[in-house]
Each structure stands twice: as C-alpha cells, then as structure tokens.
Structure 1
Amino acid sequence: MTTIENEPETRELAGKRALVTGGSRGIGAAVVRRLLHAGAEVLTTARSATSTVPDGAAFVQADVRTRAGAEALAAAAREALGGVDILVHNAGGARPHQDASAIPDEEWQDALDLNYLAAVRLDALLAPEMRERCSGRIVHVSSAAVLTPIGPFLHYTAAKAALENYSKGLALELAPFGIRVNTVSPGRVATPGGEATREEWARLAGGPAQVNADDTTPLGRDGRPEDIAEAVLFLVSDRASWLTGSNVIVDGGEFPRG
C-alpha cells in the first residue's frame, strides 16, 4: 500500500458522509485524511480537545466509552453531516500490565467500554438510519494481536476479540438492508501512541524498548498509518461491494493465521 501523496484523487466517496472515532492522531488521523482525499465529508472525534485534526475534517469532542457520550456523538454527527453513510470505529487502546492478574477490574471494564461497547452503542444509534436508506458502511478497527493474546494486554485483546465476533454477527444481520460491516486488524504500526505502549511494555518486562521489525515482520518493516487507512478506504468503497463480515489483517505477515 502506498501513501496518500502517491495516490490519484479518485473522489470515489464524493457525496458520502463519514464519522471516524479517534481520528485526531495515528491510524485514525490517516483514515480521516484518506476519506477526505477520496471526496467524503468527514467528522471525527477524540476524548479531549486537540489541534491535530486533519485539515478539512470537522471535529467534536466526545467520550465514546459511555452511553451518554455515544448519544451525544450521534446527535453531533446528525447535526454536522445530516446523517452518516460511513462509520469507522477507530477509538481504542489500553495500557499494559505485568501480567493478566495485575489488571484491575476498572481497567477490564474500561477496555470493554472503549474497544468493544463503544462500537456496539454507536452502531445501535446510527445503523437504524442506514437501514432506512438501505445503504451503509461500517468498519471496526480491531488488532492482529488478537491472534496471539498475551497476559499484559489480555484486557485489550479480549475486548477486541469480542468486537470481531460482534462484527461478524452484525454483518449477517444488516446485510439484507444493504449495509456492509467489516473489520480491519492492524499489526505493529509506527505511531507515537503505539511506540509509547511498546516502551511501557518493555519496561515492565525488563527488556529492550525497541524490537527490529526485520526480525518480526516478513515484509521487513513496521506498518504505516496509511497502510491501515488504505484498507479502510477499500472496505467502504464500492470496490468492496460484495465483501461483508470479513476481517482484513494488515500486519506485514507478522501474526499466524488459523
């Protein structure tokens, strides 16, 4: 996958209205830029006010971890966009711990709220409007780490595993209404947030902070946020018109399949 700068401006999403959660930095910001470049009108959100929102996107501050936050965001999207044709759930994350037994109850709940239930709630609020139009595209951003869950991140990967199971079921439920639901699972992507998490994990484990991507990834490099954004663009475009209930793993071949 190439970066946005090398892509022709196809405008294939012209006239489409997109909501992207967690779109102020990293993968989310790359998704926002890619959808804008393809012609979509985009609203994005983050938990705190920020000056890093990509140019051309509208922004609303919202905490999607709560039902009230999801309701406020859905209302803001209707007001700003007039409706949502494309919904991309990118908000997520969790901090590592020494092992699974060290993860406190409140962080298990927070991981579920942010990485799983936020998508469930926002889908429930916006999918009925897609059903009325018999058209819609939903993408849930999971993690390839689900394929090899480990104790320090078990609250995160368990929540993402639930998200993937839910996505498959929702795809089957909404398919008769012309709504496609797919998942993208990134591997190791070079973002400031990802690097900070890996450094904290290394500190807890007492090992080196950096791992050479050549040693872990068959394609020999870390992913770029644009690699994930390109997969999202494909899934929400008409080029993927016969694709629903799928999980696209974008990880440079790092994680084992099946």
Structure 2
Amino acid sequence: MAITYANPLTEYEGKKVLVTGGTKGMGEAIAKRFASAGATVLTTARSMPTDLADPNLFVQADLSTKEGVEKVVQAVKDRFGSIDIVVNNVGGNNTPPGGFLAASDEHWIESLNWNLLAAVRLDRGLIPLMLEQGKGVIIHISSIQRVLPLIESTIPYAAAKAALSNYSKSLSKEFSPKGIRVNRVSPGFIQTTAADAMMENIAQVTGSFESALQSVMDALGGIPIGRPGYPEEVGELVAFLASDRAASITGAEYVIDGGTVPTL
C-alpha cells in the first residue's frame, strides 16, 4: 500500500500546538519549527518576553506549581478549544554544586516539580481534549542525564528526568490504543544562549570561550561529533516525531547528544 505524506514545510497547517518553556533555547526552536510549517503555537514561560509577536499566543505561568499548570490548561481551552500536539519542554536544575549532601529537600522537591510533575499535571489537564477528538501527540523532553548524571550538581535533576522517561513510557502504553502517541526526546549538551552565557563565565577562568566549551565537553566524557548540538536540531527531531511521518512511533525515546552516552 502506497503511503503519501504532507509537505514537511506545510504539514502543520491548522494544527494547534503547545510548547512549554517555548520562549528560549530548545523550546523557542521547537515552537518556531512548528510555526514555520503552519501551526498555531501557544508558548509558556515564567517571564513575559519583550518581543512577543502575538501576546494571545503566550501564557505567563510557573509550571512548577499546580496553579501555573491550571492557568495554562485553561488558556488552551479558552483560546484553542482543543489541542493536537503538546511538547513538555519546561524543566531545569537549580541544585548547588557539592554532590548529594549539598542537595536539600527543597532542591529535590523543586527538581521534581520542574522536571516531572509539570508534565504530569499538564498531561492530566489536556489528555481529555485529545480523547474527545480521538487523536493527539505528546512529546516529553527528557535528558541524557537520566542515564549519565553529573554527580557534582545534578543528582535531583537526573533522577527527575529518569522518572519523566518512565512516566512517559507508561502513558504511551495506556493512551496509544486511544489515538494518542507519546514519545520522548533526550538531548545532550545543546548550545543554547543560556549555555553560551555559562561558557562566558567559565571563560573567565579558562581564558577563552573555546577552552570553556571544551572543558564542558570533557566533563561529559567527550562528544564524538566534536561539538554540542544546536536547538534547531532538537526542533527538527521533535517536528518529525509529532508528524504523520512518525505515525508508527510511540513509547520511544530518541537521544540527540552527538554520541555522548557511551553505552547502548
């Protein structure tokens, strides 16, 4: 049987997409990729950007809180009425260096709220809309740190991302038979503007941006392709997984790390 697909440049026309944390870094690249193919994209962030093209397509909310998630869910219902694609991108790490003993209960709770419970609460609020229409796509942005934690400062973050991957797999098994595909993407070191700012700080010690970049790659055990990934590359992967071209892919995890993880 011959299968034809929509043009990748216009395949999201008429689609309603939510990208959390969609105003910077990977989230911004993902949102722009969907929009460039015709989607109407709603984004969220804790801070209001100064360069919003359409304020009606942005929700200012802290998704680490139950109230913030409820605000976004209500905005989707009010502005879209339904939802086709949800990209759970929001997350982060605020644990100080110093290993396990440096992480307090508050750091653990914060990591779980940002990197796991934000997605759980959002999915719980939006899956009913997908069930009503009999289809939808959910993509969770995990991290290679779920299998490659940096013990100096990311133990809570890595544990939360491991839990996110486990949760995402469970969700796919329950809802794929009902038309909702659920996949996850695990980036490695991605060269965002925030990463560049970190390199500039490190460069004050190492002497140059290039040496700072190399020191971070070395700390990860090296990146075989010789460079970090780019946000736009993550955007392309997410756009593919959300498309009809990936209609048979669900419950899967795709690593985009330049070969950083050294094991199967």
- CA distances 1:130-164 after superposition (whole Å, capped 9, x unpaired): 11211000000011122211321001010000000
- CA distances 1:87-135 after superposition (whole Å, capped 9, x unpaired): 0011111134221110121111011001000000000000011112110
* 2:4 alignment partner in structure 1: none
Q: Residues of 2 paired with 1:245 and 1:197: CA distance?
A: 34
Q: Residues of 2 paired with 1:202 and 1:143: CA distance?
A: 25
The 5 Å alignment of 1:1-258 reads 10-53=9-52, 58-95=57-94, 96-151=96-151, 152-196=153-197, 209-211=212-214, 213=217, 216-258=222-264
RMSD over aligned CA atoms reads 2.4
Hey, which bits of structure 1, 4+ residues long, moved more than 6 A?
A: 54-57, 198-203
Q: 1:185 to 1:52 in 2, by over 3 A?
A: farther
Q: CA deviation at 1:53?
A: 4.8
Q: CA deviation at 1:51?
A: 1.9
Q: Residues of 2 paired with 1:98 and 1:202: CA distance?
A: 21
TM-score (normalised: structure 1): 0.89
Between Structure 1 and Structure 2, how many residues are aligned?
Answer: 248
- CA distances 1:45-86 after superposition (whole Å, capped 9, x unpaired): 001111255779811101111111111100011212222110
What amino acid is aligned across from residue 72 of structure 2 in structure 1?
L
* Structure 1 residues not aligned, in runs of 5+: 1-7
TM-score (normalised: structure 2): 0.87
CA contact (8 A) 1:44 1:58 kept: yes
Calculate percent identity across the aligned residue pairs: 45
CA contact (8 A) 1:25 1:53 kept: no
CA contact (8 A) 1:188 1:222 kept: yes
Q: Residues of 2 paired with 1:138 and 1:191: CA distance?
A: 23
- Of the structure 1 ranges 189-198 and 26-35, higher mean CA displacement relative to structure 2 is found in 189-198
What amino acid is aligned across from residue 180 of structure 2 in structure 1?
I
Q: 1:198 to 1:110 in 2, by over 3 A?
A: farther
- CA distances 1:183-209 after superposition (whole Å, capped 9, x unpaired): 000111111223455778999xxxx74
- CA distances 1:3-58 after superposition (whole Å, capped 9, x unpaired): xxxxx862101111000000111000000100001111100000111125577981
Secondary structure of 1:211's counterpart equals helix
Q: Residues of 2 paired with 1:107 and 1:234: CA distance?
A: 34
What amino acid is aligned across from residue 86 of structure 1 in structure 2?
I
CA contact (8 A) 1:42 1:57 kept: no
Q: Residues of 2 paired with 1:14 and 1:101: CA distance?
A: 50
What amino acid is aligned across from residue 51 of structure 1 in structure 2?
T
Q: Residues of 2 paired with 1:11 and 1:56: CA distance?
A: 23
CA contact (8 A) 1:19 1:86 kept: yes
Q: Residues of 2 paired with 1:73 and 1:27: CA distance?
A: 19
* 1:4 alignment partner in structure 2: none
